[in-house]
Structure 1
Amino acid sequence: MATIPIVVKHQGTKYDIEVDPESTGEVFKFQLFSLTGVEPERQKILVKGGQVKDDTPMSKFEFKPGQAIMMLGTPSQEVLARPKEPIKFVEDMTEAEAAQQEGATPAGLTNLGNTCYLNSTLQTLRAIPELQNALAKYEPQSASTAGLLPPLDLTKQLRELYKYMSETQEAYVPHAFLTALRTAFPQFAERSRTGHGFAQQDAEEAWSQIVTQLRQKLRVKDAPDTPETSFIDKYMQGEFTSQLECDEPAAKEGGELPVTSKETFLKLNCHIDANTNHLRDGIANGLSEKLEKRSEALGRDAVYTKTSKISRLPKYLTVHFVRFFWKRETQKKAKIMRKVTFPLELDLVEFCDDKLKGMLVPVRDKVREVRKDEEDIERARKRRKRNATGEDEADIPGGKGAKKEDKKDEKKPSTSADGDVEMGETYKTDAEIDAERDAALLAAKKELNALIDPSLAKDDGANQSGLYELRGVVTHQGASADSGHYTAYVKKTAPVDAKTGKRKEEDGKWWWFNDDKVSEVTADKIEALAGGGESHSALILLYRAIPLPSAEGTTE
Structure 2
Amino acid sequence: MLEECISSNDRVIINTNFMKIIDVNDNKTTITDGSPKLPAVPNKEAKPSSSSSSPSSPAPQEPEPVTGESAVSSPAPPVRNWASFLQANAPPPQPTPKKTVKPKPASQTPIQPTPVSRSITPVAPFNINNESSQPLGILLLRIMFDSNYSVFNSLATFDVKPRGLTNSGNICYMNSILQILLYCEPFNRLLKLIETKSIGSLGVSPTPLLDATITFFNQFQEDSKAPVSPEDFYSSLTKQDKFSHLKWGQQEDAEEFLGYYIDGLNDEMLNEIKSVSTSQVDKLIQTYSQEHDSESSAKFKYNIKSTIRRIKNEEEEEDGEWSQVNNKKNSTTTKIEVDPTPLNMIFGGQFKSVVTIPKQSSSFQRSITLDPFQHVQLDISAVDTIEDAFKHLNELENISYTNNNKEIQVKKQTFIEKLPNVLIIHLKRFSYLKDQEIGVEKLRKKIDYSHDLIIPKEVLATEPSTPIKYQLSAVVYHHGSSADAGHYTSDIHNAGVWWRIDDTFVKQIKNEEVLNAGTEENIKNAYILLYSRI
TM bracket, shorter-chain basis? 0.5 to 0.7
Aligned to 2:176: 120
Partner AA of 2:483 in structure 1: A
> What 5-or-longer segments of structure 2 have no aligned partner?
1-157, 274-280, 289-299, 308-339
* Alignment CA distance shift 1:295-1:238 (3 Å): same
Aligned to 2:376: 268
- 1:137 is paired with a residue of what secondary structure? helix
- 2:517 is paired with a residue of what secondary structure? helix
**Quick one: distance in 2 between partners of 1:489 and 1:216?**
29
Aligned to 1:215: 266
Note if contact 2:346-2:422 (Cα within 8 Å) is conserved in structure 1. Answer: yes
Give CA-to-partner distance per residue, 1:190-218, whole Å, 9 cap, x none.
55xxxxx6211111011111111222334
- 2:465 is paired with a residue of what secondary structure? helix
* Alignment CA distance shift 1:106-1:218 (3 Å): farther
* Alignment CA distance shift 1:183-1:347 (3 Å): same
1:346 aligns with 2:453: yes
**Quick one: distance in 2 between partners of 1:306 and 1:483?**
35
1:485 aligns with 2:493: no
Query: 1:289: how far off?
Result: 7.2
- 1:302 is paired with a residue of what secondary structure? strand
**Quick one: distance in 2 between partners of 1:151 and 1:119?**
25
Note if contact 1:239-1:265 (Cα within 8 Å) is conserved in structure 2. Answer: yes
**Quick one: distance in 1 between partners of 2:511 and 2:241?**
35
Query: 1:257: how far off?
Result: 0.2
Note if contact 2:161-2:221 (Cα within 8 Å) is conserved in structure 1. Answer: no
Aligned to 1:206: 257
**Quick one: distance in 2 between partners of 1:133 and 1:218?**
15
Size of the aligned set, in residue pairs, is 313
With normalisation by structure 1, the TM-score equals 0.50
Give CA-to-partner distance per residue, 1:364-421, whole Å, 9 cap, x none.
4xxxxxxxxxxxxxxxxxxxxxxxxxxxxxxxxxxxxxxxxxxxxxxxxxxxxxxxxx
Give CA-to-partner distance per residue, 1:162-209, whole Å, 9 cap, x none.
111222432110112212332336767555xxxxx6211111011111
* Alignment CA distance shift 1:176-1:143 (3 Å): farther
* Alignment CA distance shift 1:280-1:353 (3 Å): closer
Aligned to 2:49: none
1:302-321 matches, cutoff 5 A: 302-321=408-427
Aligned to 1:237: 348
1:521 aligns with 2:512: no
Query: 1:480: how far off?
Result: 1.5
**Quick one: distance in 2 between partners of 1:182 and 1:200?**
15
Greater radius of gyration (CA): 2
* Alignment CA distance shift 1:167-1:301 (3 Å): farther
- 2:239 is paired with a residue of what secondary structure? helix
Aligned to 1:137: 193
* Alignment CA distance shift 1:482-1:348 (3 Å): same
**Quick one: distance in 2 between partners of 1:288 and 1:232?**
30
- 2:416 is paired with a residue of what secondary structure? strand
**Quick one: distance in 2 between partners of 1:198 and 1:523?**
34
- 1:156 is paired with a residue of what secondary structure? helix
With normalisation by structure 2, the TM-score equals 0.52
Aligned to 2:478: 476
**Quick one: distance in 2 between partners of 1:286 and 1:184?**
35
**Quick one: distance in 1 between partners of 2:392 and 2:459?**
15
Note if contact 1:288-1:305 (Cα within 8 Å) is conserved in structure 2. Answer: no
1:174 aligns with 2:278: no
1:326 aligns with 2:432: yes
**Quick one: distance in 2 between partners of 1:351 and 1:119?**
36
Q: Which of the pair is proportionally richer in helix?
A: 1
**Quick one: distance in 1 between partners of 2:261 and 2:395?**
27
Note if contact 1:204-1:540 (Cα within 8 Å) is conserved in structure 2. Answer: yes
1:536 aligns with 2:524: yes
1:361 aligns with 2:462: no
- Root-mean-square deviation (CA), in Å? 3.4
* Alignment CA distance shift 1:134-1:112 (3 Å): same
* Alignment CA distance shift 1:469-1:142 (3 Å): same
- 2:258 is paired with a residue of what secondary structure? helix
Partner AA of 1:204 in structure 2: E
**Quick one: distance in 2 between partners of 1:143 and 1:128?**
30
Query: 1:270: how far off?
Result: 1.4
**Quick one: distance in 2 between partners of 1:185 and 1:322?**
27
**Quick one: distance in 2 between partners of 1:302 and 1:479?**
40
1:146-157 matches, cutoff 5 A: 150=205, 153-157=208-212
**Quick one: distance in 2 between partners of 1:177 and 1:318?**
23
**Quick one: distance in 2 between partners of 1:252 and 1:544?**
46
**Quick one: distance in 2 between partners of 1:532 and 1:276?**
21
Query: 1:261: how far off?
Result: 2.1
Query: 1:303: how far off?
Result: 4.3
**Quick one: distance in 1 between partners of 2:372 and 2:233?**
28
**Quick one: distance in 1 between partners of 2:439 and 2:237?**
23
* Alignment CA distance shift 1:205-1:185 (3 Å): farther
Aligned to 2:498: 510
Note if contact 1:140-1:150 (Cα within 8 Å) is conserved in structure 2. Answer: no
Note if contact 1:201-1:481 (Cα within 8 Å) is conserved in structure 2. Answer: no
* Alignment CA distance shift 1:243-1:178 (3 Å): same
Partner AA of 1:529 in structure 2: A
1:357-436 matches, cutoff 5 A: 357=463, 360-362=464-466, 364=467
Aligned to 1:38: none
Identity %: 22
Query: 1:353: how far off?
Result: 3.7
* Alignment CA distance shift 1:342-1:117 (3 Å): same
Query: 1:535: how far off?
Result: 3.1
Note if contact 2:416-2:461 (Cα within 8 Å) is conserved in structure 1. Answer: no
Aligned to 1:54: none
Query: 1:268: how far off?
Result: 1.1
> What 5-or-longer segments of structure 1 have no aligned partner?
1-99, 192-196, 365-465, 494-505, 547-556
* Alignment CA distance shift 1:188-1:141 (3 Å): same
**Quick one: distance in 2 between partners of 1:106 and 1:545?**
23
Note if contact 2:351-2:370 (Cα within 8 Å) is conserved in structure 1. Answer: yes
**Quick one: distance in 2 between partners of 1:208 and 1:523?**
28
**Quick one: distance in 2 between partners of 1:244 and 1:542?**
30
Note if contact 1:116-1:487 (Cα within 8 Å) is conserved in structure 2. Answer: yes
**Quick one: distance in 1 between partners of 2:241 and 2:516?**
33
* Alignment CA distance shift 1:303-1:155 (3 Å): farther
Query: 1:137: how far off?
Result: 3.4
